[in-house]
Amino acid sequence: MKAILTKKTSLIKEIEGKLNEQIRLEGTSSQYYLSAASWCEKEGYQNSAEFLYTHAEEERMHMMKLIRYVNASGGYAIAPEITDIKTDFHSLREVFELTLEHEIAVSRAINNLVDFCFKAKDFASFQFLQWYVAEQREEEELSRRVIEIFDIIGEEGQGLWMIDQEIANVAGGTGGVIDPPPAV
Ligand code: OFO
C-alpha cells in the first residue's frame, strides 16, 4: 500500500493492535458457541443447539465488522488463527455458565478497549465501539436469563427437557439474535 494511504489512518499502532486482539476474541466467541452448539446437538438439546448456532453466526458478524473497520481506517486486520476451543462439556448447565463467564470477559475487554481509545483521543474508534458496549450488556443479560431458567424449572425429571424448550423462547423466540450490527 502507498505510504500516503497508511499515513491517513486515524488508528495509532497500539489501537490497531488492540482491535486485532478484539477480532481474535470475537472469533474465539464464535468458535466457542459453535462448539457448544455441536455438543448440545449431539446430546439431543435441539433448541439450545439452534440458539448457540445462531449466536455463533452473530459473533462471526461482530468479528467481521471489526475487520472491516480496521481496514477502512487504514490499518490491517489480521484473520485470527483460533485453537484450543473447549469441546467437552459435563452438562447443559455448564455450557450456559461458561457462556456467561465468557461474555463477562468479553465485556471487560471491550470496556478496556473503549477506555484506551478515549484516553488516546481516538474518538472515531471510541464511537465505533459503543455498539459493542450496548451489545455486550444485552448479551450478558440474555446469558443470565438462560441460567435463571435452570433455577426456576429445576433439572430433575423432565426439567432438562423443559429447560431446553424454554431456551427457544429466550430473547423473544429469536434464537438469541438481538440486533443486527449496523454497516461500518
Ligand atoms: Fe461479540 O458479542 Fe458477545 O462475545
The fraction of the chain above a pLDDT of 70, given in percent, is 87
Q: pTM of the prediction?
A: 0.88
55 CA to centre of ligand 1 in angstroms:
9
One-letter amino acid identity for 68?
Answer: R
Inter-CA distances, 51 with 34, 116, 117, 162, 165, Å? 10, 33, 33, 15, 11
Q: What is the pLDDT of residue 11?
A: 83
Residue-wise pLDDT tens digits, 66-108: 999 999 998 999 999 999 999 999 999 999 999 999 999 999 9
Residue-wise pLDDT tens digits, 16-74: 999 999 999 999 999 999 999 999 999 999 999 999 999 999 999 999 999 999 999 98
The structural domains of the chain, with segments of one domain joined by +, span 2-171
Q: Which atom of ligand 1 is the closest one to the Cα of 139?
A: 3
Ligand 1 atom 1, closest CA: 59
One-letter amino acid identity for 164?
Answer: D
- 107-146 burial: b if 16+ Cβ within 10 Å, else e: bebbeebbebbeeeebeebbebbeebeebbeebbebbeeb
Residue 164, ligand 1, Cβ within 6 A: no
For residue 71, what are the contacts with CB-CB under 8 A and spacing of at least 6? 77
Q: What is the pLDDT of residue 170?
A: 82
26 CA to centre of ligand 1 in angstroms:
6
DSSP state of 90: S
CATH number of this structure's domain 2-171: 1.20.1260.10
- Res. 176: pLDDT tops 50: no
